[in-house]
Structure 1
Amino acid sequence: MIFKNFNLVILAVLIVSLSISSCKKEQEDTNSPPSAPLVSDPLHVYGEYFFVNWIGVTGATAYYADVATDADFNNMLADYDNMEVAINGMFIVEGVIPVTKYYVRMRAQNANGSSINSLSKEFTTRVADLLPNMGMEDWIDYPNYESPAPVGVWTSANKVVDLNPTIYPQLLFRTDDAYSGSFAAKAVSNIAIGMPLLTGSLSTGLFNVNLNDFLKSMIIGVPYKSRPVRFQGYYKYFPEGNDSCEIRTSLTRWNFSTGEQEKVGEAIYRTQDTISDYTLFDLEFVYFREGYPDTIDMVFAASAGGEYFIGEVGSTIFVDDFTLTFEQK
């Protein structure tokens, strides 16, 4: 009995010790500077600006960023030397030069001080304010479907296939029937058991299946801050019945007064005609407002009414080598 009681005493002491140690650790964490934030891999990078996505840390009350033209951060950009950034997970770097490397690092801060510098990330600006992979050459292979790279820029409703490949059809395909290069995108409208029409489409944004409201599965558009003058590329179209395709780029921005996205400009084209050979589309942007957008939404849909589940099964669009053009400066 004495031995048993002794074990109980030892156990109690250990529990108290662990509790004190835990409380001490929490107190130390409370009285310490935060950990360093994480700068995400480059994604929305253009010719004259780029967006930096980042992940914050617990306990931070402010975040600061450095942008430099060298990996040692000896040559800082004037406006991005210890610049405080809004706590929303993204900021824009402007005034940069096309086809140039830049380096980004961040710090978190609270009342107890600043974190160490985060690991830096290299951003290489593009030749112009264009989206990546507009030639549809780069694709990612998943178990049940393929999707154009990179994730976070190009998407489709192909993720529905993962729910049940025997029920839900693939809607966007990589095809070697290309205008130039090795590949193009092919989108085919189809249906699934128990569901309305699923339009075959390629678009910018993210797609995560929402079975409660399928229309809310798509997060439309990606960050963008330019005013192109034309939207061009090559397509083929094979409609079923009276279906029509839609090729569109919309430029929008958030209106803080109305709490909604407002349309800044748009280039759009629809046709019911069969287009058997790759044909140039050359669309002029029509602008409705002054100033710059904050989002670009690019869509190639085999069924123009697909947003409302209207269209025909089997309508097919091919798209390749599309681009945006700008006024000469």
Structure 2
Amino acid sequence: MKQIVLLIALSVMGMLVNAQYITNNGFENWTASDPDDWHSPNSLTSPFGVTTVSKETVDVYSGLNSAKLETKSVLGTPIPGILTNGTITINPPYLIGGTPFTQKPGVFKGYYKYTPATGDNCFLDVLLLKWNINTNQQDTIGYAQFTNLATVSTWTMFQANFTYNSIDNPDTMQIALISSNPNAAVTGSILLVDELSLEGGTLGLNKYYLLKNISIFPNPATNIINIKFSSETKYETAVSLYSLVGQKVKAFTLPKGIELSSLNINDISKGMYFILIQSGKEKIIQKISIIQ
């Protein structure tokens, strides 16, 4: 009996660890019209009185909320509901960037419901990318893609295995959830998504834990970023700044035994960045705005 309880506990712990690789993976936290740490076309379509992504509070797989993506007409053009941890550009319409990520999972999983318009299909995929300093663009290290064109009226698990094109590790993960075929969207398709996760592969082989009791300020920052630890660090600390497209723009190494460090960012252009702080087996990733 004790062995069964232990196996169940380890299984639950594994699911929790895997879920942490995707921030706000259950879409529980929302600010305004988008789930926290996700982006949608809402800011582009709302001037026309249209929102394609919304918080669903009744039809959920678990927790209090799920994400509802709908393909709607804007000035006669079908615009799919899209959620991404990257950035949506207008001209040309494109997804760029993502969040810092350096491992090679085996499977992309989650739960969904889908009501397609005639001839339409949904897309749920992950790209693992790495910045190429020679071409000044991102290379695709691996990907996982799930697509479906049938009606799914009850919450169902989807699963997509990763395919890898390179022996390199990625530096960025880009997730895209789309209610329609992006090349042939049809108005009326509805996709509900909840509880995303990554499993298998190299996840957990180099396991990291959340770096707690740390303050990063000010945010927005101008010339200086301060990093304050709750006690003296036991290891050297690596601090990296990444652009939203995954390019490392600045790196610092802090000696062990410090509690407060001030980093000069005078040479960094204004904009949004990810700051990655890693000390021993602990790390934290946070968005930060620089306003010069």
State the TM-score, normalized to the length of structure 1. Answer: 0.53
The alpha carbon displacement at 1:199 in A equals 1.0
* Equivalent residue, structure 1, for 2:189: 315
- Residue from 135, 156, 166 that aligns with 1:258: 135
3-state DSSP of counterpart to 1:320: strand
* Equivalent residue, structure 2, for 1:157: 41
Aligned partners of 2:146 and 2:159 also within 8 Å: no
Q: Which amino acid aligns with 2:187?
A: V
Determine if the alignment matches structure 1 residue 215 to structure 2 residue 93. Answer: yes
* Equivalent residue, structure 2, for 1:201: 82
Aligned partners of 1:159 and 1:207 also within 8 Å: no
Change (3 A) 1:196 1:220: farther
The structure with the largest helix share of the pair is 1
* CA-based RMSD: 2.0
What whole-Å deviation, never above 9, does each CA across 1:149-181 have from its counterpart, x for those lacking one? 13xxx111000244x2xx241000100210011
Q: Which amino acid aligns with 2:68?
A: K
- Residue from 299, 305, 311 that aligns with 2:176: 299
The alpha carbon displacement at 1:131 in A equals 2.1
3-state DSSP of counterpart to 2:43: helix
Question: Unaligned stretches of 5+ in structure 1?
Answer: 1-125
The alpha carbon displacement at 1:219 in A equals 3.6
Aligned partners of 2:108 and 2:126 also within 8 Å: yes
* Equivalent residue, structure 2, for 1:187: 69
* Equivalent residue, structure 1, for 2:53: 172
Q: Which amino acid aligns with 1:174?
A: K
Change (3 A) 1:198 1:214: farther
Structure of larger gyration radius: 1
The structure with the largest strand share of the pair is 2
3-state DSSP of counterpart to 2:167: coil
3-state DSSP of counterpart to 1:268: strand
User: 1: CA distance between counterparts of 2:97 and 2:189?
Assistant: 23
Question: Unaligned stretches of 5+ in structure 2?
Answer: 1-15, 206-292
User: 2: CA distance between counterparts of 1:259 and 1:220?
Assistant: 13
Q: How does 1:239-258 map to 2 (within 5 A)?
A: 239-258=116-135
User: 2: CA distance between counterparts of 1:325 and 1:272?
Assistant: 25
User: 2: CA distance between counterparts of 1:149 and 1:204?
Assistant: 9
User: 2: CA distance between counterparts of 1:127 and 1:283?
Assistant: 19
Q: Which amino acid aligns with 1:190?
A: K
User: 2: CA distance between counterparts of 1:220 and 1:240?
Assistant: 30
The alpha carbon displacement at 1:226 in A equals 1.4
Aligned pairs, how many?
Answer: 186
Q: Which amino acid aligns with 1:289?
A: S
Q: How does 1:79-98 map to 2 (within 5 A)?
A: none
- RCO (CA 8 Å, sep 6+): is it higher in 1 or 2? 2
What whole-Å deviation, never above 9, does each CA across 1:209-244 have from its counterpart, x for those lacking one? x4xx2515x544222211111111100111001001
User: 1: CA distance between counterparts of 2:85 and 2:135?
Assistant: 24
The alpha carbon displacement at 1:257 in A equals 2.6
Determine if the alignment matches structure 1 residue 136 to structure 2 residue 27. Answer: yes
Q: Which amino acid aligns with 1:215?
A: P
Determine if the alignment matches structure 1 residue 275 to structure 2 residue 142. Answer: no
User: 2: CA distance between counterparts of 1:173 and 1:185?
Assistant: 6
User: 1: CA distance between counterparts of 2:140 and 2:71?
Assistant: 27
* Equivalent residue, structure 2, for 1:232: 109
Percent identity of equivalent pairs: 28
State the TM-score, normalized to the length of structure 2. Answer: 0.59
User: 2: CA distance between counterparts of 1:225 and 1:168?
Assistant: 39
Q: Which amino acid aligns with 2:98?
A: G
3-state DSSP of counterpart to 1:155: coil
Change (3 A) 1:207 1:263: closer
Q: Which amino acid aligns with 1:159?
A: S
What whole-Å deviation, never above 9, does each CA across 1:39-63 have from its counterpart, x for those lacking one? xxxxxxxxxxxxxxxxxxxxxxxxx
